[in-house]
Every structure is written in structure tokens, then in C-alpha cells.
């Protein structure tokens, strides 16, 4: 197996099938006594570009106040 100039390798099909790795699956490399292992992560990839920001707003404004501000910009 070779590493590309971008640091990529192809995970063999039988390994992907055993681990249940499909396109867009998140994996981690885990070190144990100098050896590295591939492990599927439990992280859920956001389905859209805004989902990762859901629930992190810190503004103490109501929805109506926010909408009023955005409408003023138009």
C-alpha cells in the first residue's frame, strides 16, 4: 500500500466492509504501544453546512429582534 503525496491511502474493500466504513464515515487513528489502528468514530457529520452551528448562538435576542435586524439590512 502506498501513501499519496496528499497523505492518502486506500482502505482495502474487505477492511471497509468489516468495519462498516462507507463514504463520509468518520474514522480516527488510535495509537496503542507504538501501533496505530483505524477506528470508526461516533461523531455525526452535519448534514448541511449550518447544522454544526445549531445551538451555539450567544445573542440574548428574540427571534423577532434578530429578524428585524436582518430585514433592516435589505
Mind listing the pLDDT tens digit for each residue in 11-70? 999 988 988 888 888 888 899 999 999 888 876 666 677 776 666 667 778 888 878 888
Cα distance between residue 74 and residue 70, in whole Å:
7
pLDDT of residue 47: 66
> Domain boundaries in the chain?
13-73
The answer to whether the CB of 30 falls within 8 A of the CB of 36 is yes
The answer to whether the CB of 29 falls within 8 A of the CB of 21 is no
Looking at the predicted structure, is the pLDDT value of residue 74 above 60? no
DSSP 22-72: -TT--EEEEEETTEEEEEE--PPPPSSTTGGGTT-------HHHHHHHHHH
Amino acid at each position: 500500500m502506498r501513501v499519496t503525496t496528499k497523505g492518502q491511502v486506500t482502505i482495502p474493500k474487505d477492511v471497509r466492509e468489516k468495519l462498516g466504513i462507507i463514504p463520509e464515515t468518520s474514522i480516527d487513528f488510535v495509537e496503542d504501544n507504538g501501533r496505530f489502528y483505524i477506528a470508526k468514530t461516533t461523531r455525526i457529520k452535519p448534514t448541511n453546512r449550518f447544522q454544526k452551528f445549531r445551538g451555539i448562538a450567544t445573542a440574548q435576542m428574540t427571534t423577532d429582534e434578530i429578524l428585524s435586524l436582518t430585514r433592516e439590512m435589505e
